[in-house]
Amino acid sequence: MAAISTDGLTKRYGSTVAVEDLALQVPTGVVYGFLGPNGAGKTTTMRMLTGLVEPSDGTARVAGTRSDDRRQLVDRIGLLPEEPPLYEELTGREQLRFAADLRDIPFEQVRDRALGLCDRLDLTEDLDRRVDSYSKGMGQKTAFVQAVQHDPAVVFLDEPTSGLDPRAAKTLRELIVDLAAADTTVFLSTHILPVVEEIADQVGVLHDGSLVAEGAPGELIGSVDQTDGDADLEDAFLALTSERGEAW
Amino acid sequence: MRRSDLRDGAVLARTELRAQARRIAGNRRQLVGVVVGVLSFGLLFPLTFLGQVLSFGNALASGQPPLSRFGTVLASALTIGLYFGGATAINQSRVGAIGPLVRTSIPPGAVVIGRFASESLQAMAFVVVPGIILLGMLAVGAGTALPVLVVALGTLLLLLSGLVVGRMIGATIRYVGLLSRLSAWGKAIALIAVAGSVFVAFQAAIPMIVGTSGSSSLSALLPGSPLQAYASVVTAPLGATPQPLGVAVVTIALAVIPVGLAATLRIEGAFLFDDRADQSDDVQDESRGVARLLAMTPATRVAWRYLLRTRRNPKLVSHLSMVLFGGLAFVGSLVTEPSLLTTLGPGAAIVAGGVLAGATYCLNPMGDDRDQLPLILTSTASTKRLLRGRAIAGLLVGGVVAFGISVPLGLLDDSLLRVVGRAVLTPLVLAGAAGTALGIGAVAPKFQRREYMNVERAHPSTIGMLSYFFGTMLVVAAGLGLLWWTVERGQLLWAAVGWAVYLAVLAAGGVGGYAYAVRRFDRLTVDDL
């Protein structure tokens, strides 16, 4: 069964179409790289899939439940939005406990997993500092742990490596791969194409609200490669998103 | 100051005004609010003074200008200028987050000039329409243009002087607050203490000013009648004899504009590049476990987090300053009538507790958490837990005030029966108030950040807040009245009917408000922001 499936998913804001007739099939336990230029509709798609925004048309199912059924959905997903949703006045540890309380999960139940993640992300020593004293990267790490500490079936990550130093970014990439290995589906939106090329099993490219290409990174690269195998995902991305851009 | 500073400041002011106008025009509710405000205040307010203004105009043209009446007009203009100058300096409202761009693009002087001009014009916009209408009415009363010109120029000068001096005082207060090493709560308490002292001192001074006759005199408030003397100079072209004191006041009014502007430029210019506001002494290494009393359920644990956050950052409850002003009014009354402490004190404490129970955390529950909504809406099957947590936190704050003040005061000078009666009534009104506040917060949620009391966040709706304050006061007062009637009159049947109706009203507000909030916020999406 697909972890994420959409059928004719559309979002309009007045006369502006943000996402149009999107059909996705993301298998369970993969890292799905979701790419697109600024304003392509990636964040809107992610919001529809997580129930933060209602679609204008079409349906979406995530982890076997409809995305507009928030009661069922919340137990199965985790979200790291572009801006980490943290309370500045709480410490990192208090924030993680708060997130567990929101889900009605005793923190003791997720403590080992949460602290293990913090340890790998080199965050443990800072957990008792208040979030308003955190750097952007530390906030990002805390929000990542918050999004996955309850072991969700599907995780949505919007620019997860934003603000992270190279070491932390590498650890996060490894964590994402580990999540997928443990059968968690990771829906990864980022502009850092080498990251997607390295860890994504499948890639979808969104342009002007429509899915213009989908497949394994190698397939996408092969589909546009007119050189001798020197092309990479960046070349594929530019080729896939420039044709329509030039039509403007 | 260089010419280029003025030019850059003008560009900044024009841009901010344009952005503000577009923001209002793009928000239908805000646009309607502004139009209604301008119409009601701009048209109705001047009309209420029609008779007085016509007669004032007539007197001005008679050759013997009424200096006392003109002095009152001037005092109003000066007060308005001082208030708006001070308020705009303290509440530095801006459109967008372009501070760093502005600070690195144009000189500090230009930034201060631009901000001062744009904020003053925005603040004074509400005065323009009634001002023009009042001058029109004055022209009708006078039958000639000269008195209108004299009044307009004389008033405008004092308005500008007040604006500049108010801005200078406000900027100084802001800067002193920045420099002080007090914690955030220390600053808040210091501000409350200063405001309270001024208010109470004023209340105490009123009997001395009014005297025993009961008739107040403006001249008593203004020793030497400087504004009347100023009026004598301004109205010299209309036949008044200029007084020497008036000449001095005119000179001062003219002088404070450049002097005040120069001082404001220095203070606010230094403020622009001082990063001490970002260096909080409150940030300490600490993680606090949930207090045992509140560790029982997820909702109580959520409540604990709100209380903890407030303990660390008083700005989260800056919207309660309105309640504070109401409390100060009561404290001021105690100065003139100390016996009120035991007669009205217990009831007033329950009113305050009722207001705090809902106003502290429930009047804008989702707007207050706007930055965390992606977490909240993807973590909770229902917003019930969060809303209950907010209500519990509010009940604890309100309960401490209501019980902590009302019971000891009641025991000082009241019957035990009434003390017990109030103690039974208190949790009921507090719970009703918290639920009602959640309902109001759901009817009028505010997600846009705005500056209020120098705090930029999504403050509750002003109309919602005022409705809640006055509604709570009324309902709690009705409950206290019913309690008094029950205890004193002892007509059990009628008392039972009264209590049945009263409790039904409380339950309708409390349960209905809570249920509506849950229903509304469970359907909330990011599109609603």
Q: Is B265 in the same domain as B310?
A: no
Q: Quick one: DSSP state of residue A150?
A: T
Amino acid B215: pLDDT: 47
Tell me the sheet residues that pair with B353. Answer: none
CB contact under 8 A, B301 and A101: yes
Q: How many CB atoms lie within 10 A of CB B54?
A: 15
Q: What pLDDT sits at residue A226?
A: 65
Q: Check residue B455 and give its pLDDT.
A: 78
Report the alpha-carbon distance of residue A28 to residue B390 in Å, rounded: 38
Distance CA A241, CA A245 (A): 6
Checking if the pLDDT of A73 tops 80, the result is yes
Determine the angle formed by the axes of helices B184-210 and B321-336, rounding to 10 degrees.
40
Note the pLDDT of residue B278. 53
In a shared domain, residues B403 and B268: no
**Residue A61 in this model has a pLDDT that exceeds 90:** yes
Instruction: Enter the ipTM.
Output: 0.91
- Mean of the per-residue pLDDT values for chain A? 90
Chain B nearest-CA distance from A74, in A, is 5
Is the CB of A146 less than 8 angstroms away from the CB of B375? yes
A-to-B residue pairs, Cβ atoms closer than 8 angstroms: 102
Interchain proximity B312–A74, CB inside 8 Å: no
Q: Which residues of B256-283 are buried (b: 16+ CB within 10 A; e: fewer)?
A: beeebbebbbbbbbebeeeeeeeeeebe
Picking from A75, A89, A128, A159 by the largest number of B CB atoms within 10 A of its own CB, the best residue to mutate is A89
What would the two tokens of residue B338 be? 């100390």
| Contact criterion met (CB < 8 Å) for A81 and B285 | no
Residue B304 lies in a domain: yes
Q: Domain for residue B197, yes or no? A: no
Using CA atoms, how far residue B402 sits from A199, B344, B415, in Å, is 59, 13, 18
Note whether B359 and B499 are same-domain residues: yes
Find the length of chain B: 529
Domain that holds residue B431: 292-528
Segments of chain B scoring below 50 in pLDDT? 212-220, 223-224
pLDDT at B214: 46
At CA A235, angle to CA A230 and CA A236, rounded to 5? 105
Same domain, B248 and B99: yes
Q: What pLDDT score does B471 carry?
A: 94
A107 vs B439, residue with greater confidence: B439
Q: What is the rounded distance in angstroms from the CA atom of residue A41 to the CA atom of residue A29? A: 24
Instruction: With beta carbons less than 8 A apart as the criterion, state whether A192 and A163 touch.
Output: no
Count of structural domains, chain B: 2
Distance CA(B65)–CA(B62), nearest Å, equals 7
Q: Same domain for B476 and B433?
A: yes
How many alpha carbons fall within 13 Å on the CB side of residue B145? 0
CA gap A23, A214 in Å, rounded: 10
Distances (CA, A) of B453 to A176, B86, B170, B412, B459: 44, 11, 12, 37, 10
Q: Are residues B257 and B359 in the same domain?
A: no
The answer to whether A94 contacts B288, with C-beta atoms less than 8 Å apart, is yes
Which two tokens mark B471? Answer: 């509604």
Is B232 in the same domain as B361?
A: no
Q: Confidence band (pLDDT; 50, 70, 90) for A246?
A: very low
- Tell me the C-alpha distance between B446 and B451, whole Å: 13
Handedness of CA A163, A167, A168, A170 (dihedral sign): positive
Candidates A105, A101, A134; CA nearest to A118 is A134
**Which residues in chain B are closer than 8 Å to A54, comparing Cβ atoms?**
525, 527
A chain contacts of residue B385, beta-carbon cutoff 8 Å: 101-102, 104
Please list the residues that pair with A59 across neighbouring strands.
A7
Give the residue ranges of DSSP H helices in chain A.
42-49, 70-73, 92-102, 107-120, 136-148, 166-181, 193-199, 217-224, 233-247
Q: Do B381 and A83 touch (CB under 8 A)?
A: no
Q: Distance between CA atoms of B427 and B395, rounded to whole angstroms?
A: 8
A207 vs B177, more confident? A207
Mutate: best of B378, B455, B527, B528, partner A, most A CBs <10 A: B378
Q: What secondary structure, in 3-state letters, does B48-79 show?
A: CCHHHHHHHHHHHCCCCCCHHHHHHHHHHHHH
Radius of gyration in angstroms for the set of CA atoms belonging to chain B, rounded to a whole number:
27
Report the residue of chain B nearest A84, measured CA to CA: B372
Q: Which residues of A touch B380 (CB under 8 A)?
A: 74, 102-103
Which of the two residues, A60 and B197, has the higher pLDDT score? Answer: A60
Exposure string for B506-526, b = 16+ CB within 10 A, e = fewer? beebbeebbebbbebbbebbb
My answer on whether B270 and B411 are in the same domain is: no
Domain match, B394 and B458 both: yes
Task: Tell me the shortest Cα–Cα distance from A232 to chain B, in angstroms.
Answer: 34
| Cβ distance of B302 and A98 shorter than 8 Å | yes
CB contact under 8 A, B374 and A103: no
Task: Give the count of beta carbons closer than 10 Å to the beta carbon of residue B15.
Answer: 16
Q: What residues pair up with A10 in beta bridges, in sequence order?
A: A57
Chain A residues in contact with B283 by the CB 8 A cut-off are 129-130, 132-133
Are residues B40 and B62 both part of a single domain? yes
Predicted local confidence at residue B98, as pLDDT: 65
Domain ranges of chain A: 88-151
How many Cβ atoms are within 10 Å of B26's Cβ, its own excluded?
A: 9
- φ, ψ (nearest 5 deg) of residue B184: -60, -40
Cα gap B126→B148, rounded to integer Å: 20
